[in-house]
Amino acid sequence: MATTMPLRKLISCVVLDLDGTLLNTDGIAGEVLKAYLGKYGKPWDGRVAQRIVGKTPIEAAAAIVEDCELPCTVDELMSELDPMFSDQWCNIKPLPGASRLIKHFNGHGVPMALASNSPRASIEAKISYQPGWKESFSVIIGSDEVKMGKPSPELFLEAAKRLNREPSSCLVIEDSLTGVAAGKAAGMEVVAVPSFPKQSHLYMSADEVINSLFDLRPEKWGLPPFQDWVQGTLPIEPCYIGGPVVKGFGRGSKELGIPTANLSTEGYSNMLSEYPSGVYFGWAGLSTRGVFKMVMSIGWNPYFNNPEKTIEPWLLHDFDEDFYGEGLRLTIVGYIRPETNFPSLESLIAKIQEDRRIAEAALDLPFFTRYKKDPYLSISSLNNEHHP
């Protein structure tokens, strides 16, 4: 595999953005702004969230004052929001794959810089809650250390200088359009990991657009490859979800010959927003029928372009009847690939069948088989209970 991939460019160091790239700050920004706007009787919706991605705090505040027609100045908004945000820093979670990536490059002696549009002090405070992160970066640089933040290239150029590298040998990893613009203006190679996958078509100037950090292939850039892939699968921290089987769009069996026992997304909005869309696999427990191998898609199913992110597990077993309403519990243990679009229904079906074979073989490995015995899967219950 690795040998057939074209080498993009010889890269010797990595420059990382923090908010939205390594840390799930969008999650807490949503909570804080929702609470704040509520005080003014203003609604909070996903549109506002999209408007602030990749903006400096001051730009984000200006956008909110304007968009929501708030009766205050940008400065007033900033000083009221500031303490509300700092209170939440201890609750920020790393994005899936972030800690793995940091450990990987650190372990292989690839120098890393953290270059963020937030002030240096906030960066340090935020990462202080993530064990092992601070020591892993050779350089940490905030927007208060340069004249202009992103999209100006200044932050990245200064990062390269402090790393003692040419900009052209730096690989930038960024979630926002402004960050991508800054990286390209700095003469660096840029991998974009958009926070909103449905907007990835806007990231044309990036050298590569990936769906999540799980999909980064360092060897494409001449960097050491990840070594944790097992037979085409990436083991992840197990994730437990469950609930009654609900009606989906009604086309799994009909159009694809592949039934997916949809789970209600209610109660899982956090899990869903944290999890990158993609194809995963694991074990499925049906309250009255037993435990089965399972391969699933989480996301918008680009071929059908669903308006909502859904959870669609295909149980790898032949049942003679439907089981709507029955309690289904899933232990998700590994990742296979990002969701993609396909030129035809046949090619989508062929790919899902390939996913099936990959999942079936992987689940026979002792590493993944051990999760089959987890009591979580065999407790009969219709409740939306999370793993203890």
Catalytic positions are 17, 19, 312
Contact between 260 and ligand ADP by CB under 6 A: the answer reads yes
Is residue 232 within the footprint of Mg ion (CB under 5 A)? no
Q: Which is nearer to ligand ADP, 91 or 253 (CB)?
A: 253
Residue 310 in contact with Mg ion, rule: CB under 5 A? no
In terms of CB distance, is 163 or 279 closer to ligand RBF? 279
| E strand map for 151-253 | 170-174, 189-192, 208-209, 234-244
Q: Both ends of the chain: CA-CA distance in Å?
A: 39
Give whichever of 56 and 310 is closer to ligand RBF, judged by the CB atom: 310
Question: Among ligand RBF, Mg ion, ligand ADP, none, what binds residue 363 when CB lies within 5 to 8 Å by partner kind?
Answer: none
Look at residues 89, 93, 142 and name the one whose alpha carbon lies nearest to residue 113: 142
CA 370 to chain centre: 26
| Residue appearing with tokens 């449905």 | 198
Neighbours of 172 (CB within 10 A): 29
Mention every residue, 6+ apart, whose C-beta is less than 8 A from residue 103. 132, 136
Residue holding tokens 């694991």?
282
| Structure tokens that stand for 315 in this block | 């149980």
Q: Should residue 295 be labelled a site residue for ligand ADP when binding is judged by CB under 6 A?
A: no
Which partner in ligand ADP, Mg ion, ligand RBF, none is near 323 (CB below 5 to 8 A by kind)? ligand ADP
Shorter beta-carbon distance to ligand ADP: residue 237 or 321 = 321
At closest approach, how far in Å is the CB of 313 from ligand ADP?
Answer: 7
24 part of the interface to Mg ion, by CB under 5 A: no
Closer residue to ligand ADP (CB): 292 or 335? 292
- Please report, as ranges, the residues that interact with ligand RBF according to CB under 6 A: 248-249, 251-252, 258, 260, 279, 295-297, 301-304, 312, 314, 339-340, 348, 352, 355
Using CB under 6 A as the binding rule, the residues of this chain from 219 to 258 that contact ligand ADP are: 245, 247-250, 252-254
Q: Rounded to whole angstroms, how far apart are CA atoms 224 and 239? A: 28
Can residue 322 be called a binding residue for ligand ADP (CB under 6 A)? yes
| Residue 260 makes contact with Mg ion by CB under 5 A | yes
User: Is 249 within 8 Å of 255 (Cβ atoms)?
Assistant: no
C-alpha pair distances (Å), 30 with each of 19, 24, 94, 211, 380: 13, 11, 16, 21, 35
- Interface region with ligand ADP, contact rule CB under 6 A, candidates 53-61, 131-139, 194-202, 312-320: 312-320
